[in-house]
Structure 1
């Protein structure tokens, strides 16, 4: 049977289009959604139907049509919703009628939250992000979208996806991407996030990283403590009375919504809503987010969501952007029968060929028509994508990208591209190139990398890289050179192996607790040589392989011919001739430098992340984390007499770490470790159990080090030690009550670090501070306790993106 096309436009009484209005076939969940120009279409077989047009805040309109073989034009003009005010008697100081409605909705919230514990539906998702304005340069680097268009208004992103969404509460869900496309990127995959923002939950997560505490629903169990409500009136729809309630936050700078929520009378369910988040809602990254939702009856007792639209807007660093992300839900099955192993570790599966559908296919299944600017964007970017593959164009892109820029050369390093050959070259920044220490004096450490992408699939892990480096000290006149070669692959799970070798300078603690820049500042300006170095001829092999179910195995083998180094200069910025730097070995561990020796060391380990979730692409599987702890067990062995090795020991380490999201309470993070030597017949100082200490202003890596502990004070070769790190990130809790902090979105953070070596060596430090300063900085005040005594106090500063300064 051939279906006829029903199409038209939805406007208000003044002829203004109603963006993303819903059009339904009455008595069913079949329907569609109008686009941003108010246009819609749907296909119906022969018969008589009642078509309903709805838009939140407007009276819905019904029209009955008889469908044959001819296409039908059917326009709708909706009137602003007229509300009937109930006859209520409100005594002086009495309560607004909205509160009784909200109380009833709160009572029914748990029922509706669990009513659809299992369902399956199909979702059409369209996301677009547009620019109204953008800067010409950022930090001296030109902003170039490589589209030849210099106008300020442009479509930045456009994507469509059709997915099947399956849910089995409380924790099981799966998304299957059936078809997807991204404007101008034919090899990529579009948006695949059909999750319903359920206001039946107490705490609501909208997107990622908008607010780490989540947002409080207007009908949460505790909502009356956070919101004011105002009864706006009611309207009748299909014989049901629907109450319109205005939602007003009681306090600014709380994670709260404002706007309107419509609640049905008697059964107290959500009919529809228009809610808004702003910076005063403690949002990060974006300035505002509007959320529209519309529910429709599936049967007499069950309602399902029909449309969900999110409207973000952001102004940042000169960029002014806005967008819309539309979800249209259809083909609901509220009693699906899932196969026994249907829900597994793969929560998002993208099928082979899903991004290769022809334009005719999209025209046949798209539930809302494209608007003119979207059609133009597809045409323009698809043409540009073809042009971009031309060798002459790739050469011109390389010339533009590869121009030198001052900031990356100094601070971050710069990359150079050869698109035709899929090659990337990079050079290390100047801040990592020139350094000073008491062993080598002023030194040049020149390095970079070469990466060859071995296939053309975006995001593919199949690549080869080489990292050569040379290093020369002006005081000891040593020239060192080293190289590392890495191959990454994995048709299914990620795997890699690397080979490295040469002659280089290392810290006694190979995890490098003090950076080259920090050591330069401390030694040259403040005459403190905290870093202790040795030189080594070395060769090393490492591997890592994911095997699924959250399990990764790793290991390696390393050979070093270790050469002791001594101080060769006492130069400092003050040019003081009588300076005596401490020797170039840890005085806490030894009274003299080690003797030259050889070491052959093997390692093997396994990590397990229970409940790990995966995204399954056609060509690879990607681990995206878990709510459970990560467990890691490793073992190291020093082999005596092999290749002349002088060491003989074995040691183990067990780590467990986790992040716990506590919603409004923030999040709690911890990392606990146990370890020690099993055998210690011949252990070099370099192979001791070392801990990441810190004696400078820049913070040590959080959860992996101590902020005040001297670098080698508690290094040991004991049979057992214990190490622990905890942090609680309040994420706006408490500070949102303090005017200055709530306006700048500074967050309180508190925690402690502890170390136990033996009964005579115990160390604890506690800290409190603020993070999210200027979005990138964290400042901590730290107290250190050595054997129950306050041994130190310090301030530590961390800057996101710059590691250890």
Structure 2
């Protein structure tokens, strides 16, 4: 699952290719699993008690288990059917056939204590299971197991425009693509998960992708891959529950609970969860969810390992959907075997010894427990024994609230002992050097799930194609083409080339543009850089650029050198080039081309400078980074040089002059001058959390607010004609607001401490927008504000604030089918306070995720509470950040 589901799906479709037919193992058990009416039971689970091994039947109900000579107890399970246990003696050199018939499960509605409000008995069962979820998460110190994964996928349909490209990639409609892998996994409390892939059968197109990553998920966690678990403490805000019935599975009583989302959409599931009573652990799952219109169905079966802990022994996934005309179906099946578990001694208690009491239903019992606990003297807990340990060891009944409180206290104490408490979870993923070298004999002996006839045909097809590919690699006559190398057309269209082992050379596409200062212009740029897989290694990029303005008949350009590694970055940049008055580049050149040529609005205001810019950024720690930069420049004002129009609108007065209009400064023009400006920035994220993968720490997005301190100064040195000092403070954060949505805000406030000599480009500018397009960050940019009208050099404070709230369900998203498409609704407010802005305010509404990539916005602006203007904007759902000089 996870937001990566689309990637997993498409990679899986292109991922697989193998050969072989199954061969008979030396000794073991095989057979077919059916219902008592003869219906094949696809993907039934067979659990081998003696080895802690889970095996699954294939789509045709066939299973195979290899093993050494001994007696085996086999547990046959299929959701909705009674569990059957068979004892079999395996002899050396013999393969026993054992066919099994399962009968449908009979449910009983047992007598359950129901509250006076007529509450469904499912709620007390789920309250107890939720109360014990933290216990189950911490129950094991560690476990190790082996996972076999088989995936089969096919592309059912695709747009005719993509046919040629797919054929080149060897993808055929309707053909089954298969993959198999075997991994050794290990979990260590509290949050470390290790996986080593020891064998893979694939076409090698995506060797770095692990199909077993979902094994790391646990439904005892509050959230799994952005999906709220039905065992989350917040589950009752997201789900309703219905009691279906109870049944006996061996010696266990299992209650089946229907999960009903209170609001359908992404991040929730529907289906059935079965809970083992007294243990209050998961017995099985049969659930469904959607991600951006892609259906994901999951079935999981758990088993009591060593009769001490219920852990998953098989997972079955079916993923299907249609995206941009590509219709696909993907199935995979995982079996988990050879469990080796180590219990957490601080929490171990015999499953039936812990009786969890629901205060809401069992009020009198809960009251008695509370009174007894209150009357007892406080125990003096030994240094190596927790309150929770004492309480569990007593064997007495415990209320769910007491259990949750003690578990919370226990986890807090455990976190204090961790070396890296800020690391929320850690994963290690490795592929054995011999993983791709296993032959068909190995797979035939290892495979716990027999191949179906369709899968066998898929392997045979992949094998024949693999032979052709190998011939191409060694230069056989089948080979039809080779890399084209440099072509003269690359000078016009651009391309990139690998130069040596660790460097490349790129010719950028020379994008033409048009503005009223330069007329038609084009930028020609190349870059040479080093390539480093290791982010700790230093990388260097050198980029020269040339620009020619036809109306000015002037050529200009720059040379940029970028040196960076994990902690440091140094950029040297110099030349003669144009620049917007607002250095944050509020309008993209391509957008200005559109508004100028098609709307007769030349919105981008530019000047020219001869300059040298130096910038150094240092990441002092994970929580603190600083940057300093200095810029020396000779600034020159530019005027319009062309009045050429592609479309001459009669209701438009024509192009405006290339001089910004500002409320505080009547004339924004300036004489040629020199400027030396320094800037320093400190960024703080004090509560940042991390995840680790292969010992590399990665930030967890939005886990801490970001605090910003900026200082900017015009320095009257080196011939500089500007003299001012400015300081600004800011904060940005995004966080969830319960079950309803996401809140994102950005606040900035500052002042000019001194302003002896300034020119308009030195003012404080804000991200305005007067185009039909919204290309800046939705949080922190204005939708209707003029680019320079309220720019300020005030010695009093200025303030700019933006708040953005995304609803899970609001107006259009009240309809489930709209939510299922990934569409979200937002409201936002932007506010600006300067000496001249008159409390400028914008209120807006947007729909995000239209056709998955677009954003449509509507906004209204106000001055001192009085309506000023309104407008509509089109944006991209994923923000595009573009540097004007690039």
**Alignment equivalent of 2:642, drawn from 559, 569, 586:** 569
Partners of 1:358 and 1:100 lie apart in 2 by: 53
1:155 aligns with 2:230: no
Find the counterpart in structure 1 of residue 605 from structure 2: 532
Q: 8 Å contact 1:260–1:275 — kept in the other structure?
A: yes
Find the counterpart in structure 2 of residue 77 from structure 1: 100
Q: 8 Å contact 1:230–1:247 — kept in the other structure?
A: no
> Partner of 2:287: helix, strand, or coil?
strand
Partners of 2:705 and 2:445 lie apart in 1 by: 42
1:652 aligns with 2:674: no
Find the counterpart in structure 2 of residue 190 from structure 1: 210
1:437 aligns with 2:515: yes
**Alignment equivalent of 2:136, drawn from 116, 122, 134:** 116
Partners of 1:63 and 1:485 lie apart in 2 by: 72
Alignment of 1:626-637 (within 5 A): 626-637=702-713
Alignment of 1:6-85 (within 5 A): 6=28, 8-13=30-35, 18-26=41-49, 29-34=52-57, 47-66=70-89, 70=93, 72-73=95-96, 75-85=98-108
Partners of 1:365 and 1:158 lie apart in 2 by: 13
Larger deviation, residues 757-766 vs 772-781: 757-766
Partners of 1:50 and 1:453 lie apart in 2 by: 60
Deviation of 1:291 (Å): 1.3
Deviation of 1:518 (Å): 2.5
**Alignment equivalent of 1:481, drawn from 551, 554, 557:** 557
Partners of 2:461 and 2:754 lie apart in 1 by: 67
1:783 aligns with 2:860: yes
Q: Deviations over 1:567-595 (max 9, x none)?
A: 22233345589956433222213514222
Find the counterpart in structure 2 of residue 680 from structure 1: 755
**Alignment equivalent of 2:531, drawn from 454, 462, 479:** 454
Deviation of 1:534 (Å): 0.6
Q: Deviations over 1:696-717 (max 9, x none)?
A: 2212431131111111122223
Larger deviation, residues 468-477 vs 154-163: 154-163
Partners of 1:419 and 1:303 lie apart in 2 by: 55
1:728 aligns with 2:796: no
Q: 8 Å contact 2:292–2:821 — kept in the other structure?
A: no
Deviation of 1:320 (Å): 2.2
Find the counterpart in structure 2 of residue 217 from structure 1: 230
1:585 aligns with 2:656: no
Q: Deviations over 1:3-38 (max 9, x none)?
A: 996453553258876555433233774444456676
> Partner of 1:297: helix, strand, or coil?
strand
Find the counterpart in structure 1 of residue 405 from structure 2: none
Deviation of 1:447 (Å): 3.7
Backbone CA RMSD of aligned residues: 4.6
Change (3 A) 1:523 1:353: closer
Find the counterpart in structure 2 of residue 333 from structure 1: 342
Q: 8 Å contact 1:216–1:223 — kept in the other structure?
A: no
Change (3 A) 1:678 1:462: same
Change (3 A) 1:538 1:638: same
Deviation of 1:414 (Å): 6.8
Find the counterpart in structure 2 of residue 280 from structure 1: none
1:274 aligns with 2:286: yes
Q: 8 Å contact 1:503–1:536 — kept in the other structure?
A: yes
Partners of 2:827 and 2:858 lie apart in 1 by: 9
Find the counterpart in structure 1 of residue 404 from structure 2: none
Deviation of 1:485 (Å): 3.5
1:164 aligns with 2:237: no
Aligned positions, number: 763
Change (3 A) 1:759 1:561: closer
Deviation of 1:401 (Å): 13
Normalised TM-score (structure 1): 0.80
> Partner of 2:778: helix, strand, or coil?
coil
Alignment of 1:500-579 (within 5 A): 500-546=573-619, 548-575=621-648
Deviation of 1:524 (Å): 3.5
> Partner of 2:213: helix, strand, or coil?
coil
Q: Deviations over 1:596-636 (max 9, x none)?
A: 22233343434343333144447x65445352222333433
Normalised TM-score (structure 2): 0.73
Change (3 A) 1:734 1:180: farther
Q: Deviations over 1:87-141 (max 9, x none)?
A: 999xxxx99xx98441332231322322224233336374746232354765x79
Deviation of 1:56 (Å): 2.0
Change (3 A) 1:575 1:43: closer
Q: Which has the larger radius of gyration?
A: 2
Deviation of 1:496 (Å): 4.0
Change (3 A) 1:696 1:186: closer
Change (3 A) 1:634 1:218: closer
Q: 8 Å contact 1:689–1:716 — kept in the other structure?
A: yes
Larger deviation, residues 660-669 vs 122-131: 122-131
Find the counterpart in structure 1 of residue 688 from structure 2: 611
Gaps of 5+ in 1: 209-213, 278-282
Q: 8 Å contact 2:424–2:691 — kept in the other structure?
A: yes
**Alignment equivalent of 1:288, drawn from 264, 278, 295:** 295
Deviation of 1:292 (Å): 0.9
Find the counterpart in structure 2 of residue 211 from structure 1: none
Larger deviation, residues 292-301 vs 692-701: 292-301
**Alignment equivalent of 1:262, drawn from 253, 271, 274:** 274
Find the counterpart in structure 1 of residue 676 from structure 2: 600
> Partner of 1:53: helix, strand, or coil?
strand
Q: 8 Å contact 2:763–2:791 — kept in the other structure?
A: yes
Gaps of 5+ in 2: 1-24, 347-413
Partners of 1:648 and 1:63 lie apart in 2 by: 89
Q: 8 Å contact 2:630–2:679 — kept in the other structure?
A: yes
